[in-house]
Chains A and B, each alone.
Chain A
Amino acid sequence: MTSYIIRRIGQIVLVLFVVSVLIFSLLQLAPGDPATVLAGPGTSLEELEAIRQDLGLNKPIHMQYLTFVKKLFNGTLKSYAYKQPVISIIAERFPASLELGLFAVILATIVSIPAGIISAIWQDSPADYTVTTVALLGISTPVFWTALMLMLLLSIQLDALPVSGRGATLWGFSIFTLDGLRHIVIPMLALSSVQMAMNTRLTRSSMLEVLREDYITTARSKGLKESVVILGHAFRNAVLPVMTNVGMMVGTIVAGAVLTETTTAWPGLGRLMISSINRRDFAVIFALTLLMSFGYVLSYLIVDILYAYADPRITYD
């Protein structure tokens, strides 16, 4: 197991390296000179040259890449637009994305697993039809439109919730204040609707597969209570794919919810990404993309490791 984890970590480092090279070369191809963007209009040539020197823009490309990465890791890589270290900008926005993503995943998991189980055990019943249709509608609906509709309904028509923004925060999180809680409802519902739909479909199909197995019939014929059969025997075996999906949803938290955050003006990492792309803030784009990739690959690894613990049949050598 240990050797497997070490090998996987090696792979992760390799993947992140390729991603960083990819993103860096992509940014090199982008039109516009970062120094002029950073300096703003009306800067003298000497000042521009000084900035280039500082960023290492007048060195060969591979040296530039190395300085970029080095500066990123010792925390001195500065955003072109904010003139602050990238690390602190990301750290400032991260709590917003974290709480939004985490609560969306939790809500999605709480709703989707019972819904999926119910629709699997009463297959082809009206309840099943309702659940599958709603879930299919859920995966067919763009998340930003869901957000728009919630804003239209809850904020504009009913005037029950604030339209957008994050509201008051305490210790960097808005869930600790009433105002913040009122603000998080819409983005959280929108973001979790898609995850909910996907996870419901997955739970249902995975349950259906297990319910057909012989050991379920055996369990029933032993006279076990139906609830024990469903939860103890069937669900425990059906939970693996569902767990994978939840793990991946957690991994996407770091990526921020680009569309949801943009629509509801939620000041998280996704929105930072969009504004950085619009401003050609290469340093922030570079750091953010790496962070997001890291979140993805790390969640894959954790899911794989959890797999081995949850299912004794799975061994990694």
Chain B
Amino acid sequence: MAAGRGTPLISVTDLEVHFPTDEGLVRAVDGVSFDIFPGRTLGVVGESGCGKSTVGRAILQILDRPGRIVNGSIELRLDPETDPDDAVDLASLGPNSGPMRAVRWADISLIFQEPMTSFSPVHTIGNQMIEAIRSHRGYSKREAREWAVELLSMVGISNPRQRIDEFSHQLSGGIRQRAMIAMAISCEPKLLIADEPTTALDVTTQAQILDLLRELQESQGMAIMLITHDLGVIAEMADEVLVMYLGRGVEFGPSDDMFHNPKHPYTTSLLTSIPSIYTKRGERMQPIAGSIPHPFNRPPGCTFNPRCPSFMPGVCDHDPPLFLPLEGPHLVRCFLYHDAQGNPVTAEAENDG
């Protein structure tokens, strides 16, 4: 994929993840493409159930049963600067295979929304950190423990030598998430997937955790994939943004573009549905009309069409639109810009429709 920010660390192309259930096939991820660049932050945003968390897990191939990747590629470049051609397709590796397990935590690690449940309730923090370190680094128990203590103080936990032997339920929410981050960076990964890392925390702690992530990104030079439904967090943190709707990527581009010049009607709706300091007094927020369709009951054509303010009958409810570049690194999936064959739509054509 073309991009103006060097070679991507990870390129995801046409990713599809399916969950075959008794009730029917759930297409949790139904065509998503994006790049993550070294040392930069990708924000993934969408309403709940849009498949954004599934994308994160698909990259590590730790999908819940019965989910599996049915299409697409996840190219990981371990050394994008010097050797851009040395890429491994994670989607082609078996979920339990040795190479896949070697990638986990060492190259890509993960933190979750619920720091309480992300740690085992019956093992100490230290036990779990040391295990993570030792399974990827040839450290002795002692060395691993020293490193774990250092990591804990690095993420701003005071008295780390005592905290390391405590259980997660003995820590406060903020400290717990710090400990989780310490564990996540313990093998100095190139990418940290943060799945709603601040949703369960209070506002002050949220800000502290985001600051911590930014600091660590600078000092470690790692990329972050920040999955959230909070556009405020995205605006603050992201360099690139992927907007998802019902398992499909609908818009991907640099953060500035997305916020100041959104292309997809869904992105526009999202932006007008949140309060902002730019909102004029007396101006109303616009909630997005309608509700998210049931996964078994997707509308034909563009899945956003029943809620879309720019709905074009006979076009949007017919064929699915394609996810195509618009200008430079900006991708969009909408018939306002491309027809069903992928040809750019001219201004007159739009007026006709």
Tell me whether A and B are bound partners. Answer: no
